[in-house]
Chains A and B, each alone.
Chain A
Amino acid sequence: MKPALNGTDEPGQTVVLGAGDFYFGGGRTRISTLLGSCVSITLWHPRQRIGGMCHYMMTERSRAPDSALDARYASEAFDLFLQHVEAAGTRPCEYQAKLFGGANMFTGSGGKMNIGRRNIELGRSLLSSQHIALVAEHVAGSGRRKLHFDLWSGDVWLAFPEGADAKVRNSHGR
């Protein structure tokens, strides 16, 4: 489905993130992804107009010291962010963050905190630990979210179809 983003410029390139993917860059790049219980964090530097997005599935794991960072895990995706932020000659606190996803994809879940909720809580905690301003979040609920992030403007668009079985469309969308 071609996104119908009213009043926006067309990107030079579109990077589609799957679960566990990570991208950091700049220019006329649009990063897109589809979220269920996974969480995406977008980071954007308003002066440099650079930033990135992760799409993590789980919170953290026990990692051997010499193994590569795995962006399927929140803690390691965040470390990738910090590496790119430093490589760009910037500091974490100069970025604006937005947090999306963490839906409860299963109906009738019991008292145990679901994976989406754990992903949300850790995302908030990691951002807070680096004093990164969380300017917007659209999390929890049920159903999938389709997300587009334009690196040249920092704009993020989100389509949120309600309902655990809903396909990628908004209740009012096409």
Chain B
Amino acid sequence: MDVRSALDVIAADAARGDIVFPTHNDIALRVQRLLDDPECSVDALTKLIGAEPILATRVLAIANSIAYNPGGRTISGIKSAVARLGFATLRALAATVIVRQMKDLSLAAEHRALAARLWEHTASVASLARVIAHRVTRQNPDAAFFAGIVHEIGSFYLIARAGAFPGLLTSDLELWHGDGEAAVGRAVLCALQVPAPILEAMETLWSGFLAMPPTSLGDTLLLADQLSPIESPIDALAGMSRRGMAVELELLIDDETLTSILAESAEEVASLCAALKS
């Protein structure tokens, strides 16, 4: 298997914009565009979201999670959920539909299983990133959540295209963690018209350098990625598995430690993660 040639073809296709999203992603993309419209009304948004069952379900699940509903007042209407979540969170949730459905593009069972594990990792990182942004790096939690949702989008695309390159995902994917992931990720994120601050955070992620202590949105993403208990299955394919040896990462944030903050936030993270995986 010529891994380099295969990755070059995949990256070139992505750069040309040859990215085929499932047809039911159309509504999710329209939701994203509507959110960009300064005249966007809650009524129009509610109607559009209601037309996409997967997105509607996820909007309600997240709105009722502990992270967004600490008081425990359950709501069942999309309009109330939209009001509770706000537009920034809705943007992230529209992205979850797109990313999740990318995982269903694969025809091979083993590729679908790989994509399912990657989604579990994604949900974990996004949930952690939101808490870290709020409590540690003082970044916008909704932006961090969004960045977490899309942070493996290049790998989802890789899995979706792997069927055309037999043996690719059983080869040494060291080159993927070279320039491959960044090249494909950039192209897919541009196709999705992801906001500039998210792209900047992704560049930090791809550069791999975490500021200690972390401060930026990119640091938030890197930190969440390193702290996530669910490893990316693509890392294991590239010989970069943690092999059960977790990193010990500690920071002093004002009078608190990172460990204590994460312990306090465990329920919030778990609720978000569960809602994303539902």
The chain A residues found within 8 Å of chain B, CB to CB, are 3-7, 98, 100, 103-104, 107, 120, 133-143, 146, 148, 155-167, 169-174
Q: Which residue of A lies closest to B247 (CB)?
A: A141
Q: Which of B207, B211, B239, B249 touches A163 (beta carbons < 8 Å)?
A: B239
Fill in one digit per residue for B197-217: 1 if any A CB lies within 8 Å of its CB, else 0: 000100111111111110010
One of B141-149, B161-169, B178-186 at the interface: B178-186
Say yes or no: A136-B250 contact (C-beta < 8 A), given A6-B218, A165-B239. Answer: yes
Fill in one digit per residue for B250-273: 1 if any A CB lies within 8 Å of its CB, else 0: 111000000000000000000000
Contacting residues of chain B (79-135) with chain A, CB-CB under 8 angstroms: none
**B-chain residues with CB within 8 Å of residue A6 when the two chains form the complex:** 200, 203-204, 207, 209, 216, 218
Is the pair A5, B243 in contact by a Cβ cutoff of 8 Å? no
Listed A/B pairs (13) with beta-carbon separation below 8 Å: A6-B203, A138-B247, A140-B248, A141-B247, A156-B212, A158-B209, A160-B208, A160-B210, A162-B231, A165-B239, A166-B239, A170-B208, A174-B207
Say yes or no: A171-B210 contact (C-beta < 8 A), given A140-B245, A163-B235. Answer: no
Q: Is B242 an interface residue (CB 8 A)?
A: yes
Min C-beta distance of B188 to chain A, whole Å: 15
Min C-beta distance of A1 to chain B, whole Å: 10
Between A and B, how many residue pairs show CB distances below 8 Å?
132
**A-chain residues with CB within 8 Å of residue B151 when the two chains form the complex:** 172
Question: How many residues on B have C-beta within 8 angstroms of the other chain's C-beta atoms?
Answer: 41
Q: Which residue of B lies closest to A116 (CB)?
A: B245
Is the pair B245, A135 in contact by a Cβ cutoff of 8 Å? no
Is the pair A136, B251 in contact by a Cβ cutoff of 8 Å? yes
Give bound CA distance, A163 to B179, whole Å. Answer: 19
Q: Is B1 an interface residue (CB 8 A)?
A: no
Is the pair B181, A169 in contact by a Cβ cutoff of 8 Å? no
Give bound CA distance, A171 to B152, whole Å. Answer: 11
Say yes or no: A141-B246 contact (C-beta < 8 A), given A171-B232, A174-B182. Answer: yes
Is the pair A172, B243 in contact by a Cβ cutoff of 8 Å? no
Give bound CA distance, A166 to B187, whole Å. Answer: 26
**B-chain residues with CB within 8 Å of residue A165 when the two chains form the complex:** 239
Is the pair B206, A163 in contact by a Cβ cutoff of 8 Å? no
Is the pair B209, A4 in contact by a Cβ cutoff of 8 Å? yes
**A-chain residues with CB within 8 Å of residue B249 when the two chains form the complex:** 137-139
Min C-beta distance of B135 to chain A, whole Å: 16
**A-chain residues with CB within 8 Å of residue B212 when the two chains form the complex:** 98, 100, 136, 138, 156-158
Say yes or no: A160-B182 contact (C-beta < 8 A), given A7-B216, A166-B240. Answer: no
**A-chain residues with CB within 8 Å of residue B235 when the two chains form the complex:** 162-163, 171
Give bound CA distance, A172 to B209, whole Å. Answer: 10
Q: Is B7 an interface residue (CB 8 A)?
A: no
Give bound CA distance, A164 to B243, whole Å. Answer: 8
Q: Which of B200, B208, B225, B251 touches A169 (beta carbons < 8 Å)?
A: B208
Q: Which of B174, B207, B222 touches A4 (beta carbons < 8 Å)?
A: B207
Min C-beta distance of A137 to chain B, whole Å: 5
Min C-beta distance of B217 to chain A, whole Å: 11
**A-chain residues with CB within 8 Å of residue B182 when the two chains form the complex:** 174
Residue among A104, A140, A171 facing the most chain B CB atoms (10 A cut-off): A171
**A-chain residues with CB within 8 Å of residue B210 when the two chains form the complex:** 138, 157-160
**A-chain residues with CB within 8 Å of residue B246 when the two chains form the complex:** 140-141
Q: Is B34 an interface residue (CB 8 A)?
A: no
Say yes or no: A160-B247 contact (C-beta < 8 A), given A171-B177, A174-B179. Answer: yes
Say yes or no: A157-B179 contact (C-beta < 8 A), given A6-B200, A141-B242, A142-B245. Answer: no
Q: Which residue of B lies closest to A7 (CB)?
A: B216
**B-chain residues with CB within 8 Å of residue A133 when the two chains form the complex:** 252
**B-chain residues with CB within 8 Å of residue A159 when the two chains form the complex:** 207-210
Q: Which of B207, B226, B250 touches A5 (beta carbons < 8 Å)?
A: B207
**A-chain residues with CB within 8 Å of residue B207 when the two chains form the complex:** 3-6, 159, 170, 173-174
Min C-beta distance of B44 to chain A, whole Å: 37
Fill in one digit per residue for B23-55: 1 if any A CB lies within 8 Å of its CB, else 0: 000000000000000000000000000000000
Is the pair A135, B252 in contact by a Cβ cutoff of 8 Å? yes
